[in-house]
Chains A and B, each alone.
Chain A
């Protein structure tokens, strides 16, 4: 029955069942797992912490699940040259904690950073609130040691971040486990900023918060982070973190600024003014590190906190042009209202990366159909507004049915060719990402797995 625990990740998708779960501790052991699986014609699925939100680590057809959680050693930190070699199972936040005192940190900070692995970040090319300024994971991976789908071990890229020949490192990052398994990763480390200021602005209308975001960027400021949470999200997280979020505001905008003290002070003033111009009812600057930490904890708990409202969630991850935020958001609320559902919006506003979180109780008959319909409609609206299907969570199983909304057949064939170049037999995390091949997995409630799931 316990194999059932490996039939899911953080998303609502459940697939088939894991055939075997392996916990390798070294690159050689990973290579052995892969070789044995492939020799028996079995697929293999890499898995980190299983916090993925698109079903990427969900197994299809009894594959060998290769869990990297025990490959959690930080092998080397070079403070001078600002890089670190880490195992794929190292938890994102553990690396930054390990660097305390060196004046360096690992920049990609997905909201799940306390749990997710760096291997998973690489595979999904994950982003995070602070990636607005620093760039997503691919900008922070210098080299990767990979066990290819035939068991061969290669190193892509190097410590200087120079690609020799084709930049296969670049191709591998974001491969969602379909191009091989990362077994050691050389990440770039960033310098801690000398000064940080975090502002919390409350708005009576979500559109005003969105308009403020555009105005800030138009003003030439690139904050370290620009995040919006709507009232429902704020109401769900405030009791957990006690950050003092204004629960009466329709939307809250978090702005983080960093750099030299004088510059930060000037930007705080400027943003306060822009906020007021756009109808901000409240503007607060976090007084100390504790208050800052609470504000971020609230933001990063958002997906987890929804059970306070409903026990299940379905999440989209589309990216739209920042200038159309207000208009697209209004449509999202409309689509969801029409279907008598509840949506909570919490997103990386600076990147235009929306995360409409449809919350529901799967035990309600017929609700799933309405949820999926609304989900599809949101993707359609986003793509029509000139956006893309996924900002950072990946395609996995859950979003591949939308690939045709964004890509032409020719695009998809080209992507399939790249995949085949790495994985001739189609055994590396099959049925994921590309809408070709057999499908598996059902988007279903976690609370109501299909009959027989557990036996």
Chain B
């Protein structure tokens, strides 16, 4: 038998590992258990398998690895666990130990390496965008249906302090890598909303680059640390750092743990999810209150034609709900501009999980089917837009045929807010 003081082969925190009482209350909150009904695909099962190796000296076999590889890392189990089992730490520790022995697949490693060069991502994405338009690529959930040909404006070479490029903004918008190439309109939406509220924004740009979340997820913790160090160094100062991709936001907030330095902890404390920050800012609140139908001239008209408030179904990315716990702010921001409808699945993961959809397409697809069914239930046949604050989730969901057929578009919550701001004529003010 083991003593809690000897670290096992996975080097996991013994206290955290011991905290699981095997009650099973987490089971329904785990997407991979939900779609398979199998203990090997459950948090409880995975923890038991970690214990087997850590405490009993069992040697990981293929089945063991498969159990770990199929975890999305959504942390739905951590939120659900009444015993405060630190599942996130256990699985990333496990992944790190495993990656040291058994390297992730080559295509994943190469793909992740590429993220270090945002310029390259934009260039490559544009090339894919052309191929897509020529109809040469099949639709998958991994790439957006139509990658924009004009990528983001995040390069800090944007001379002349036009909006969002000013180096003197009150806040910095973290622009990341893939998001900047695939969904540049989201950054623009954030800049427009902040601008209308009179808040200057600087885009972090290429010198800051990728957050390293996908690397950490794959167990490539050294690479993740290298990214983290680069981000921290490139964003010195004390201005708030706003993040509009839930996945990147969770990663940035976690830098203190990842690097373990005071500098990283101080940086992490400056990081805010964009919704979280806006919901707490009086100026943005004031701007949105001015848009609400009750006050002032009817804002929901466009050239005299009434524009209906959109009906929005909110999908909570796990990185917002489980990792950052600030999904409530999305509702605070949307409430003045849209009729918000909730899903009835308690934030069960949609299966996107960064590169997960690529590596485990079967489970990811089944998890998406569950999510899509919940969206249809919430829509009740009405015309709705699905709001998702994470690029991985939104591309994964937008690739679903039945949503497309039902005319359900997937957009970032900040885009919906920006729409309303622009409609009201507020969005054109320049800094």
A residues apposed to B, CB below 8 Å: 1-2, 4-6, 8-10, 23, 49-51, 67, 69-70, 72, 89, 91, 93-94, 97, 100, 112, 114-116, 237, 240, 301-308, 311-313, 361, 363, 446-449, 453-455
Tell me the complex Cα distance, A361–B48, Å. Answer: 17
Q: Would you call A304 and B25 a contact (CB within 8 A)?
A: yes
Tell me the complex Cα distance, A329–B67, Å. Answer: 44
Tell me the complex Cα distance, A301–B4, Å. Answer: 26
Tell me the complex Cα distance, A434–B45, Å. Answer: 29
A-B contact pairs, 29 of them (CB 8 A): A1-B58, A2-B63, A5-B48, A5-B49, A8-B22, A9-B24, A10-B23, A10-B24, A49-B27, A67-B38, A89-B37, A112-B23, A114-B25, A115-B26, A115-B28, A116-B24, A237-B82, A240-B84, A302-B82, A304-B81, A304-B83, A308-B84, A311-B21, A363-B18, A447-B51, A449-B56, A453-B56, A454-B56, A454-B58
Tell me the complex Cα distance, A274–B138, Å. Answer: 70
Tell me the complex Cα distance, A50–B27, Å. Answer: 10
| A303 (CB) vs chain B CBs: closest residue | B23
Given contacts A2-B40, A5-B40, A311-B18, contact A454 B23 (CB under 8 A): no
Chain B, 68-126, CB within 8 A of any chain A CB: 81-85
**Selected contact of A23 from candidates B22, B37, B61, CB within 8 Å:** B37
Which of A70, A312, A363 has the largest count of B CB atoms less than 10 A from its CB? A363
Given contacts A10-B24, A301-B25, A447-B55, contact A308 B83 (CB under 8 A): yes
Residue B39, interface by CB 8 Å: yes
On chain A, the residues within 8 Å of B280 by CB distance are: none
Interface string of B1-43 (1 = CB under 8 A from A): 1111000000000000011111111111000000001111000
Min CB distance A298 to B, Å, is 9
Q: Would you call A50 and B58 a contact (CB within 8 A)?
A: no
Min CB distance A406 to B, Å, is 27
Which of B22, B26, B40 has the largest count of A CB atoms less than 10 A from its CB? B22
**Selected contact of B52 from candidates A4, A9, A112, CB within 8 Å:** A4
On chain A, the residues within 8 Å of B277 by CB distance are: none
Q: Would you call B23 and A51 a contact (CB within 8 A)?
A: yes
Residue B257, interface by CB 8 Å: no
Q: Would you call B21 and A100 a contact (CB within 8 A)?
A: no
On chain B, the residues within 8 Å of A448 by CB distance are: 1-2, 55
Q: Would you call A304 and B82 a contact (CB within 8 A)?
A: yes
Min CB distance A152 to B, Å, is 25
| B63 (CB) vs chain A CBs: closest residue | A2
Q: Would you call B64 and A1 a contact (CB within 8 A)?
A: yes
Tell me the complex Cα distance, A302–B25, Å. Answer: 11
Residue B344, interface by CB 8 Å: yes
Q: Would you call B39 and A6 a contact (CB within 8 A)?
A: yes
Tell me the complex Cα distance, A454–B64, Å. Answer: 12
Min CB distance B77 to A, Å, is 12
On chain B, the residues within 8 Å of A302 by CB distance are: 82
Tell me the complex Cα distance, A289–B58, Å. Answer: 47
| A453 (CB) vs chain B CBs: closest residue | B56
On chain A, the residues within 8 Å of B3 by CB distance are: 363
Min CB distance B19 to A, Å, is 4
On chain B, the residues within 8 Å of A455 by CB distance are: 58
| A307 (CB) vs chain B CBs: closest residue | B83
Tell me the complex Cα distance, A304–B82, Å. Answer: 5
On chain A, the residues within 8 Å of B37 by CB distance are: 23, 67, 69-70, 72, 89
